Chain A
Amino acid sequence: MSDHEHHESHGAAYFRVFIALCVFTAISVAADLVHLPNKIMLGAIVLAVAVAKALCVMMFFMHLKFERAWKYLLLAPTIIIAAALPVALRPDIGETYYTPDVQQLRDYPEHEASLHDSSAAHH
């Protein structure tokens, strides 16, 4: 193929992507080390960084940025199905599967207290 014979090295571009990935990893670790006031903020930051890293890898290392429209045809269904799983399970297992009154929790006084609080709130 012609692009083999006239291929230009992308080495410098790849190196920039690699440096970006390292910086993103450092941000994740730093976010954990500074002990942010709440877990949701930490989760949002590190997952956003993970998505940014994933995009870097997919676009440049996996060349998706330079591929044609087939990439959408191929990847969109799998991503939709993949995302559907947690969304579909959440209302079932994620919220109601574990009843609070289980063996694991019975010995925890603070949990007992919370059970009483919630039953008091119901009455």
Chain B
Amino acid sequence: MTHAVAAPTLKMGIPIPNAKLGMWLFLGTEIMFFTAFIGTYIVMRMGSLGWPTDTHVTHINIALGGTNTFVLILSSYFVVVSHDALLTNQYSKAWKFMLATLVLGFVFLGIKGVEYAGKIQHDILPGHIPENNRQAMDKVINQFGVLVDQRLAASYPKETKREDQKAALDARIKTLTEKSGKSAAEDKELAEASALSKLNSEYVSLKEHVRADLSLAVPFAKFDDIRKEENARSKYAPVTLDEVNGEVEKLVKDPEMGPLASGLTPAHPILYGNLFASNYFLMTGFHAIHVIIGLFMFILVLMKGSRLCVDDAILVENIGLYWHFVDLVWIFLFPLLYII
């Protein structure tokens, strides 16, 4: 202190401002909060017989993760420069570096958003990932059902039930067939309606094959007879994922049904994929929430504008401590989630 000329007297407590002590105590709890997730991840991964690490499967993007690591490190550096500038009375420099930190925080969230969008696009979400062939086949059928529903609803928006839509489709095909060859527009509609009807039949057939666990080589028309047979299970080959995926790929390429079947994708099992996705989203999600909170604090300081002065040094130091901690967490998440 400036007024303390004599040797300092005995002072109780920790020799730092209360606010800083509070921030460090909070960061102590934060260390435990994040290591609980990191520890859980390590233990789950060790307890699993496998783990999806192929980036083509997990859609983990090391380049984006590495870029984000750099962005956070740079932003951490900018915070210390900002704090340093405050202490040396360069207030406008401090403000500018704080603004740069804020921008980098948004860049981090933007890159994170791109990564999340990729995960969502490939359905790498907890609970959505098939872990064996059976689940993969079910997923294809589910996806196919949703697609057929969408196509039927788009053609017959007035009907709400699938049976009604199907009946309306059949009736329309019948009408159009009777007067075919008279108008080009109606012939085109007939072709589209027939394609949709065919796609629906393909869906029903594929679904029943998977449900009955019978190879696609067994014709759907024979199913009623097969159900009456004794020991049918031992006589016919079971359906395989390759057959189902092959059928999907064939439908998408089909000149007639292809346009309607677009969006349908084969499914492949990812062993422990759900555990992986849960851990990934839990850790990166909580980290992203911390980033967002940090951005609010930066905005708080930036709003002081030209009033920013040396009295704010402790505030900026505390926000900086918090931000460095957010950076620290990412320093560990990056190798754990993206590299190992």
Contacts and interface: CB of A to CB of B under 8 A. Distances in A.
Given A54-B328, A57-B76, A94-B46, A2 B334 contact: no
A73 to B, nearest CB: 8
B167 interface: no
Interface residues of B, number: 61
B32 A78 contact: yes
B327 A57 contact: yes
B193 interface: no
B282 interface: no
B2 A78 contact: no
Given A61-B76, A95-B47, A98-B47, A50 B84 contact: no
A30 to B, nearest CB: 10
B216 interface: no
A90 B43 contact: yes
A116 interface: no
B225 to A, nearest CB: 29
Please indicate which of the listed interface residues B87, B133, B313 has the most CB atoms of chain A within 10 Å of its own CB. Answer: B87
Contacts of B49: 98, 100, 105, 111
A46 B73 contact: no
A50 B340 CA distance: 12
Contacts of A42: 339-340
Interface of B: 1-2, 14-16, 24-25, 28-29, 31-32, 35-36, 38-40, 42-44, 46-49, 62, 66, 69-70, 73-74, 76-77, 79-81, 84-85, 87-88, 131-134, 269, 271-272, 310, 313, 320-321, 324-325, 327-328, 331-332, 334-336, 338-340
A68 to B, nearest CB: 6
Interface string A19-43: 0011001001101100000010011
8 contacts: A1-B2, A9-B88, A18-B77, A21-B73, A21-B76, A70-B16, A93-B47, A94-B42
Nearest to B66: A29
A55 to B, nearest CB: 10
Given A32-B62, A94-B46, A4 B84 contact: no
Contact of B66 (A1, A25, A67, A103): A25
Contacts of A113: none
Contacts of A32: 62, 338-339
B340 to A, nearest CB: 5
A44 B334 CA distance: 14
B15 A70 contact: yes
A35 to B, nearest CB: 12
Contact of B35 (A14, A60, A85, A105): A85
A18 B74 contact: yes
Nearest to A86: B39
Contacts of A10: 80, 84
Contact of B133 (A4, A47, A107): A107
Nearest to A91: B43
B134 to A, nearest CB: 6
B339 A28 contact: yes
Interface string A71-110: 1011101110111011001100111011010011111100
Nearest to B30: A78
A115 to B, nearest CB: 10
A68 B13 CA distance: 12
Given A25-B73, A107-B134, A90 B46 contact: yes
B28 A57 contact: no
Nearest to A67: B16
A25 B70 contact: yes
A7 interface: yes
Given A15-B77, A61-B324, A68 B15 contact: yes
A93 B133 CA distance: 26
A82 B32 contact: yes
Contacts of B2: 1-2, 5
B331 A54 contact: yes
A89 B84 contact: no
A103 B324 contact: no
Contacts of A11: 81, 84
